[in-house]
């Protein structure tokens, strides 16, 4: 007789682990299936973990979790070929408990988080691929894995199988994503001495800094680059929409090499040694690309549900919240013994009512807008750099003259109108 569980969670990333953790803690018999050698072995993100959502799940987690550095400074770089316009915020209130955000290495963090779920009683099975959901009379009743005697059954199956969720696709919840709905991020982890990192980024020990890079980091293609400080490594990466890579015929690793060799970036990583190379897809279609996320006996969470806010580089926090909301819904369903789509739809309503749904809605057109109008990245960032260069170069001309020159350099009256229009448009999609 195959094993029967209350809940099967497919995928041990932030969404899946959060869900399994919450369920196990509430006494639910839950099994968590991970295809990698261990949780985190196949999971990739730039490396910012948001404290709030994690703290809601395990209060005070930062006291014991394997974190890299609390982030005390966030910098933003508008990059041109040989210049950068940088602004940022550094605040020491972020250097104290309970902190704001942290840099993390997922291979370590996810393993730890999963071990907490295990300690609550969740059963973690690694190195096992779920091939398909077992569907009977229109409801999901279990999953088939690639293991011999690999069928297991449950009242509810939670799909946390990540971007490109093949399982949700098999159920007909979504179609193949289009190249402008997914970004490809490539990154490297670079080994660098602790003291050098702290020196170079102006940090005390146990303080971290993140730099988000726009503009020339992606050669003007819609996307961003990033450079984060870990304990004794740096995470550097670049992510762009697949459609952009295809259009500009650039290979993702070429883009990463370009960023690493950019004169504004190179000094930061000088003398470091590549330790790991990682690449992953990010679902960036946002609100318009959200698949069906609830069915009879099945709930979709995290990246699999396209829960990413590309503008604010948030994803793991949304994944965690979705995992918890799924768990809460399942607990409700368990009380009534009803696992129908109608009942589980509670999850969808809760999700759309939370910051996850609200933020996705707020930015529903943002990525598409910047994808459609490449001038923001291709043109305006260089323009800002030129303006700053003009303004801050001391050459004997008066500031008034400089302003006039900048104004003239922007172009004809028509050109100025166009920029004004673009600014209004950008404001509309971001507001």
> 416 is written with which tokens?
């100025």
Q: Does 152 bind other proteins (CB under 8 A)?
A: yes
Annotate 254-315 with DSSP letters as a single string. Answer: HHHHHHHT-TTTHHHHTT-EEEEEEEEEEE--GGGG----EETTEEE-GGGGT--BTTTTB-
CB of 204 to other proteins, least distance (A): 25
Phi and psi at 240, nearest 5°, equal -140, 155
Annotate 306-361 with DSSP letters as a single string. Answer: T--BTTTTB-HHHHHHHHHHHHHHHHHHHHHT--SHHHHHHHHHHHHHSHHHHHHH
CB of 117 to other proteins, least distance (A): 12
CB of 31 to other proteins, least distance (A): 7
Exactly one of 66, 90, 131, 150 binds other proteins (CB under 8 A); that residue is 150
SS3 100: coil
Q: Count, in order, helices (H) and strands (E) of the chain.
A: 16, 17
CB of 144 to other proteins, least distance (A): 10
Exactly one of 64, 82, 96, 151 binds other proteins (CB under 8 A); that residue is 151
Exactly one of 87, 97, 137, 148 binds other proteins (CB under 8 A); that residue is 148
> 114 is written with which tokens?
């999963």
Helix (H), strand (E), coil (C) string for 207-245: CEEEEEEEEHHHCCCCEEEEEEECCCEEEEEEEEEHHHH
Taking residues 78 to 117 in sequence order and writing x for each that binds other proteins by CB under 8 A, - otherwise, the string is ----------------------------------------
CB of 67 to other proteins, least distance (A): 17
Apex CA 352: angle with CA 349 and CA 358, to 5°? 155
Per CB under 8 A, which region of 143-151, 179-187, 362-370, 398-406 contacts other proteins? Answer: 143-151
Per CB under 8 A, which region of 49-57, 62-70, 140-148, 344-352 contacts other proteins? Answer: 140-148
Q: Which residue's entry shows tokens 């915020």?
A: 89
Per CB under 8 A, which region of 47-55, 119-127, 303-311, 351-359 contacts other proteins? Answer: 119-127
Residue 207's alpha-carbon distances to 101, 118, 198, 199, in angstroms, are: 11, 31, 8, 11
Q: Which is closer to other proteins, CB of 3 or CB of 365? A: 3
Half-sphere CA count of 7, side-chain side, radius 13 A: 37
Q: Which residue's entry shows tokens 């303004």?
A: 391
CB of 29 to other proteins, least distance (A): 11
Q: Which is closer to other proteins, CB of 122 or CB of 381? A: 122
Exactly one of 147, 248, 313, 405 binds other proteins (CB under 8 A); that residue is 147
Q: Does 3 bind other proteins (CB under 8 A)?
A: yes
Exactly one of 48, 58, 124, 217 binds other proteins (CB under 8 A); that residue is 124
Q: Which is closer to other proteins, CB of 126 or CB of 243? A: 126
Given its phi and psi angles, is residue 220 left (phi above 0), alpha (psi -120 to 50 degrees) or beta? left
> Hey, which residues between 7 and 36 contact other proteins (CB under 8 A)?
31
Crossing angle of the two packed helices 14-25 and 106-119, in degrees rounded to 10: 20
Exactly one of 76, 86, 115, 123 binds other proteins (CB under 8 A); that residue is 123
Provide the 10 A C-beta neighbour count for residue 146: 11
| CA atoms of 281 and 264, how far apart (whole Å) | 26
Exactly one of 64, 146, 254, 401 binds other proteins (CB under 8 A); that residue is 146
Q: Which is closer to other proteins, CB of 38 or CB of 380? A: 38
Q: Which is closer to other proteins, CB of 144 or CB of 313? A: 144
Q: Which is closer to other proteins, CB of 54 or CB of 158? A: 158
Apex CA 226: angle with CA 223 and CA 229, to 5°? 170
Q: Which is closer to other proteins, CB of 31 or CB of 281? A: 31
Residues that bind other proteins (CB under 8 A): 2-3, 31, 38, 123-125, 128, 145-152
């Amino acid at each position: 007789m195959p094993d029967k569980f209350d809940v099967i969670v497919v995928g041990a990333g932030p969404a899946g682990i959060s869900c399994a953790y919450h369920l196990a803690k509430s006494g639910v018999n839950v099994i968590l299936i991970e295809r990698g050698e261990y949780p985190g072995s196949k999971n990739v993100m730039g490396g910012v973990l948001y404290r709030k959502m994690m703290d809601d799940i395990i209060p005070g987690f930062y006291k014991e979790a394997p974190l890299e550095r609390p982030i005390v400074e966030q910098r933003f770089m508008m990059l041109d070929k040989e210049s950068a316009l940088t602004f940022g915020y550094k605040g020491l209130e972020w250097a104290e408990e309970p902190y704001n955000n942290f840099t993390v290495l997922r291979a370590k963090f996810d393993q730890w988080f999963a071990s907490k779920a295990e300690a609550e009683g969740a059963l973690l099975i690694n190195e096992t691929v779920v091939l398909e959901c077992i569907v009977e009379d229109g409801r999901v009743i279990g999953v088939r894995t690639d293991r011999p005697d690999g069928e297991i059954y449950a009242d509810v199956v939670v799909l946390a199988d990540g971007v490109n969720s093949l399982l949700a696709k098999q159920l007909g919840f979504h179609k193949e994503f289009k190249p402008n709905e997914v970004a490809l991020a490539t990154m490297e982890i670079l080994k660098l001495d602790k003291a050098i990192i702290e020196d170079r980024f102006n940090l005390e020990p146990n303080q971290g800094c993140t730099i988000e890079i726009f503009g020339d980091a992606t050669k003007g293609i819609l996307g961003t680059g990033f450079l984060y400080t870990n304990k004794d490594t740096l995470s550097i990466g670049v992510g762009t929409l697949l459609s952009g890579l295809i259009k500009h015929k650039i290979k993702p690793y070429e883009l990463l090499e370009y960023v690493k060799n950019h004169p504004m970036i190179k000094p930061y990583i000088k003398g470091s040694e590549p330790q790991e190379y990682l690449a992953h897809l990010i679902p960036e279609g946002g609100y318009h690309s959200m698949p069906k996320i609830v069915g009879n006996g099945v709930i979709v969470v995290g990246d699999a549900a396209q829960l990413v806010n590309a503008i604010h580089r948030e994803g793991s926090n949304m994944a965690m919240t979705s995992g918890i909301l799924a768990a809460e819904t399942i607990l409700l369903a368990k009380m009534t013994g009803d696992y129908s789509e109608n009942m589980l739809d509670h999850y969808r309503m809760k999700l759309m009512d939370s910051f996850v749904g609200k933020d996705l809605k707020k930015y529903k057109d943002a990525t598409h807008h910047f994808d459609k109008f490449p001038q923001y990245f291709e043109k305006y960032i260089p323009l800002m750099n030129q303006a700053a260069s003009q303004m801050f170069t001391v050459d004997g001309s008066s500031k008034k003259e400089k302003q006039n020159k900048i104004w003239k350099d922007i172009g004809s009256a028509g050109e100025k109108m166009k920029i004004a229009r673009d600014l209004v448009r950008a404001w509309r999609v971001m507001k």
